[in-house]
Structure formats: structure tokens, C-alpha cells
Amino acid sequence: MDRVSSFDEPLKKLLGGATAKVMAEHLDLHTVGDLLHHYPRRYEERGKLTALADLPLDEHVTVVAQVADARILTFNNGRGKRLEVTLTDGSGRLQLVFFGHGVHKPHKELLPGRQAMFAGKVSVFNRKMQLAHPTYQLLDASDADEATEAVDAFAGRLLPIYPACKQLDSWRIAKAVDAVLPSAQDAVDPLPASLREGRGFTPLPEALLKVHRPQTKADIEDAKARLKWDEAFVLQVALARRRYADTQLPAAARRPVADGLLDAFDAKLPFTLTEGQEKVSKEIFEDLATEHPMHRLLQGEVGSGKTMVALRAMLAVVDAGGQAAMLAPTEVLAQQHHRSITEMMGELAEGGMLGGSEQGTKVVLLTGSMGTAARRQALLDLVTGEAGIVIGTHALIEDKVQFHDLGLVVVDEQHRFGVEQRDALRSKGKQPPHLLVMTATPIPRTVAMTVFGDLETSVLDQLPAGRSPIASHVVPAKDKPHFLARAWERVREEVENGHQAYVVCPRIGDDAEEAEGKKGKAKKKTAEEDPEKRPPLAVLEIADELRRGALTGLTVEVLHGRMHPDEKDDVMRRFAAGDVDVLVATTVIEVGVNVPNATAMVIMDADRFGVSQLHQLRGRVGRGSAPGLCLLVSEAHEASPARARLSAVAATLDGFELSRIDLEQRREGDVLGQAQSGVRSSLRMLTVIDDEEVIAAAREEAVAIVAADPELEHLPELRTVLAALLDKDREEYLDKG
């Protein structure tokens, strides 16, 4: 078998169809190489059992423990049966529970004194930690072959515990790894020999063996150091090649002209730009003046004035004879940008119209729901060059849309756009247009180096004068219901003081199919079995409750993604005008909705949102001169990670600090949304937040290698590994530019 193909071998050839199917569907593992890169999460030492006292809530765990006692209880007047087993490991106790027909086998096998491995999801019932229906494997039943093997594995010094799923336990994954481990010898080593030797790294086949079947703790450290470096290095080489390729592309230099549109705009600004805005604008103008395309990421907190910086860049391009397009993720946001940009520009946005300015240009809006006549006019203005600035949703990308001379593309909230969309817009220029990507999600330096590694980064970290502080508090609705009642009183007080409020829910609700599906499932499960599983709170239901109860007498309206765009716009206009007291919404308000009079926000089921998302949402209040208030309502257990996350959000307004916490808690997988799926699939060992030094060093080596040999002609192994990493699915995360 040649070196590459054994890694490409489908798992079903070696493991059988059923196991391979579960691995593909639930763990995204398809080939021998995928499984060899599915590393253990941690290792158990013989005799040193997992401390039951330290189990994390809501996570899949594998524990090795002893049965202390087991008893069968009945409920529902004797119709239902429940087996309760208590485990102990010296550090603490854990309850297992089995229901219905599932009680017989464990009742026979889990006798007091027996030792076993158990796997399942940790939940809390009646204030006690428990595993419901865990899978288990006895470690002392010598009659079964499987148990003997388990004892042997357990007698080995370090027992690898793999990231597992409900359908496949860690020990079954370990058996599958044993079957493919011989293929580790065929691993293609991506590191140039000089680099490997210079840094004293273990050879790759040896590192794979050591990570899966270590003899000592030193083996684990050796393997990790090598595997982390590989991931960081291959990724940084891919990004360095990307940046190099971008510098080879031609672009029209766009320099603003004296006494043009930009100068006219600056002259009528009612305030001075912040130092940060000046600095970032200078970086952007320098990029625009070069003959290859700008690729810049502009990050800044909600309200730091990114739109102003982007608008000045667009005006500079119009001055230089080009056109600028701004791409927004939703219609509500595109309309809002259009409104605020035309307001900021005044008569400069009415070029060619009566009462418009000499230097002015036309600013057009293009969205999917526009009427035919308005749309036809907008398309005409773009193709003739009459419109210097267009703001739109992905409707801008359709084939019909032609530009006279597209010079700059501004993308708002980058991570909501797919690659094809960006590429389609780029191809509308005579030459590749310059690209400015804006995000309000603060991104730590290491993530910027990895995920956005092909973009230069600018940061706006000052808030313009006149923004107010926001006080944030966690409201534990389950433990202290009177806190929630007080929260609604606070909303009422804000409204009585002439202000407005948002209430945010994770779900829209009132979906007949969804409700039916839930009902069907609910019948099968009694509340006793699964007390924690209620659907997230929904906009329509909460709005109804508030109108009838706590906020009766106030004007309460809803806003969500299933509404018709005109309806959404109407609600937003009335809210902005102050005719609506309380807006109950989904996260559609997360980006770009600007209502300075809104001072309070209540986020229901706040634990169902990510840290960065909560921070974004909170940025919608306190935008005027009155202080803001954000209440995070949660039923999560006090000791749970979800509550810790909420407390962190309540404790700081620093977005960079929060994005660090977000990364530490959720790892990098979903911090920046689905567009980064490629990074997720290629980073197994490297944690972007902890391995800053590895990433920085790998970046330096990668830049040097690519500068010396852009096509990697002298490094065929590195080329092979890159090609495998950058297959079609995984190329996405590199395709930001």
C-alpha cells in the first residue's frame, strides 16, 4: 500500500459498516487518517480514578468507579420501574439511573463491589449529579473475552479516553484505533527535515503511536508538541501562500482626489473622528493606493464607528472613479445601513438629482424583496456608474447585477457569508476589487492569526464620546422567581422614564410542526426521566405572556426572521420612532439595529446563547446618553458551566476579554460561526487560545518557506499534506479574501 493511500482508506473496510457509519455521522470520521487524528481527550491512570467530585455538567464523560449499592424502585403505582445505582471512587459519589425494560441486565451485573467503566452525559436531578442510562463495561468479569481485554487495557499504565458520542463509547473507539494503528507508519511527514531536526521533534509515525498508546506521561508531551506544531505549521503555510498569491493579483489603485466627495463629506461632519478612526482610515487609504487588492479585517466593538470608517473608504473609491458595494447579512441590516449612510451624507447622496450636490453620487439599495420598478432602476444606476455606492444583501451577487467599475467591496459581519458569495462579488470587478471585512465580534490575536490569517487586521478600540455604560446582571429565574418579577418591574420603570426595551428569546415559536414533533416525543418520556428538557423560550409565547401579565398596558411588538421584510421594517421604524415600548425579538436585532432611546434588554434563556453573541446583543442598549441595563435570565444550575459563562458576561464589558473566555469554554469550533468549519476539521490538538507561541513561531517559519519557494517545489510532502487539508470542503476557511 503506498504512503498516502493507507491514510485515505475508508474506515468501513477495516471496521465494518455499522461502526464506520456511526463514526461518519456522529464524529465526522471517514478515513483511516481521520481516525488516527482523532486524539484522546485525556488519559486515565491505573488506580487513579476520575474524581467523581469534579464531573462537568452536561458533558459526555467516561468514569472508572466501583458500585456501592443498587436498588430497584417503582413509580406510577408500580407500573414503572427504575434502577438506581450508586458509584463511588473515594472522592465522591455518582448516581446512575436506568428505566423500564433497560433495568434487568444492569441489575444482574452491577453488584456492589464490582468495578466498571461507565460512559454517559452528566445531568442534575433533585440536586444530585447523575448519569441516565449510561453504557458500561465491567472491568472484573473474567468470564467474557471482552472484559478480559478491558482488564488488560486497564492494567496498561495509561488508558486513553477519546472524545465520544452517545452512539459510540470511548472504549469502542479505542478498539477501532487499535485496528488502524499499524497505518501510522505510512504517515506523510509535512515538516521539512531541517525544521524537524532543528526543533528536535519526534518523527510523525512515532508521535501518532505515542499519542494513542503512550507508555509514560513523557510520551504524551512529546506527541502533543509534535502534533500541535504540524497543525499550526500546515495551516500557516496555507495562509502564507494565500497572502503571497494575493500580492500577485492586479488591482486598480484608488486614491482620493483633493476637493472631491470625501473632502466635502469630512467638511460637513458635525464631530471629529476618534484617534482610532483616523489611524485605521490611514491604513485603509494606504492599502487602496496600491496596485494589488487590499484584504483588510476591521474589527471594533458595537458602536466604535466602523460604519463611518467604511463609508469614508467608499467615498475615496468613488472619488477615484470607482464604485463601492456594501454587503449586509440581512435585509433589515441592509436597509438600516442604507438609511444611516444617506443620512450621514445628506445632499451628497443625491448626485444627479434636483437639490443634490455637485460632488455627490447616488446611493442605491438592492435587496431581494424590492419592487420590480425600483429594482430595475437600481440595476441601471449600477451599470451606468450613476450610483457610486450600493448597499445590499446577497441579491447583489446575482448574475443580473453588473457594475460599471467595482473598486471596493465592504462585507459586514464576515462570518455570515459563504465563500461562493464573496467570490461571485469579487468577479464583478474588471480587476479584483479591494476588500474590507468588518466584524463586531472581538477576535483575540491568535484567532486573527489563524482564522483570518490572510487578512491584515485593524482594530477600533475606542468608543466615540457620548456612549453610556451598561450594567449587566444574571437573573436566576428558577432559584429566585421574585428576581424575574423584579426584572419586569425594571423594564416598566425604564418605559415610564420615557425609554424603551428589548426582550430577546432563542426561538420564534408557534411552529405547528415543531410543536407536534415535541408533543410526540414528550409522550414517550415522563417528566421524571427527563426534567431538564424543555424547548427554548419563544418570542411569540413570551410576547403574549407579557402583554397579558407583567407588561400589560405597554405597547409590546414582535420581530423575527419569519416576518415579511416590509412588516419587519415597519416594526423597526415604529420602534426607532418611539411608538413601541418593548420589542420582543430573536437575534435578528444582534447586528446593526440602532435605537439610542432603548436602555433595557432582557435576554431569556440567556444560557442558550454564546458569550460573543450575548455581548453583541447587549451592545444594542446604552447607545444614547442614558445608562443601559442588560438582564440575563437563566434557569441553569448555579454550579453549571452555563452559569459561569453568564457571570463572566455580566462581569465585564471588554469584548476581547469575553472572546477569550468564549474560546476557552467552547474551544475554537464555533466561536466564529460555520464559515470556519475548515479550521475545525483541521485543528485537533492545537487550541488557538493557549498555543499563541506555537502559532506565532509556525507563522514565522511558514512565511520564510513560502517566500523562498512559493510553489513548494522542493517540499513535495508538505504539498501532499496541504492538498489533503485543502480539499474542497476544507478550503472554505481560507477563502475569506
pLDDT tens figures, 11-26? 888 888 888 999 988 8
**Res 218: pLDDT:** 92
pLDDT class of 680 with cuts at 50, 70, 90: very low
Burial grade of 115 (CB within 10 A; 0-12, 13-18, 19 or more): middle
pLDDT tens figures, 378-394? 999 999 999 999 999 88
What is the percent of the chain where pLDDT is above 70? Answer: 82
Q: Which residues contact 137 (CB under 8 A, 6 or more apart)?
A: 116, 117, 146, 147, 150, 169, 171
* Alpha-helix runs per DSSP H in 258-392: 261-267, 275-288, 306-319, 331-345, 372-384
Give dist(CA 31, CA 34) in Å, integer. 5
Whether pLDDT at 60 is above 80:
no
Q: What is the mean pLDDT of the segment spanning 344-370?
A: 77
239, 223, 240: which is closest to 684 by C-alpha?
223
Least confident residue range of 71-80, 151-160, 328-337, 704-713? 151-160
**Res 591: pLDDT:** 55
Beta strands in 316-455 (DSSP E): 323-327, 362-366, 387-392, 406-412, 434-439
**Res 140: pLDDT:** 62
Q: What is the mean pLDDT of the segment spanning 550-563?
A: 90
* Alpha-helix runs per DSSP H in 16-130: 17-27, 32-36, 104-109
Give dist(CA 361, CA 313) in Å, integer. 14
Between the CA of residue 699 and those of 335, 453, 672, 692, what are the distances in Å?
40, 9, 21, 10
**Res 410: pLDDT:** 92
pLDDT tens figures, 440-463? 777 777 777 776 676 778 888 766
Whether pLDDT at 520 is above 80:
no
CA dihedral 92, 93, 94, 95 (to 10 degrees): -170
> Please, which residues bridge with residue 632 across strands?
474, 603
Whether pLDDT at 357 is above 50:
yes
Give dist(CA 115, CA 88) in Å, integer. 10
SS (H, E, C) 73-96: EEECCCCEEEEEEEEECCCCEEEE
pLDDT tens figures, 224-234? 999 999 988 98
Q: What is the mean pLDDT of the segment spanning 405-433?
A: 74
Mean pLDDT of the chain: 81
Decide which of 609 and 656 is more confident: 609
Whether pLDDT at 295 is above 90:
no
**Res 512: pLDDT:** 43
Decide which of 365 and 129 is more confident: 365
Whether pLDDT at 476 is above 80:
yes
Order of all β-strands in the sheet with 434-439: 362-366, 387-392, 323-327, 406-412, 434-439, 295-300, 456-460
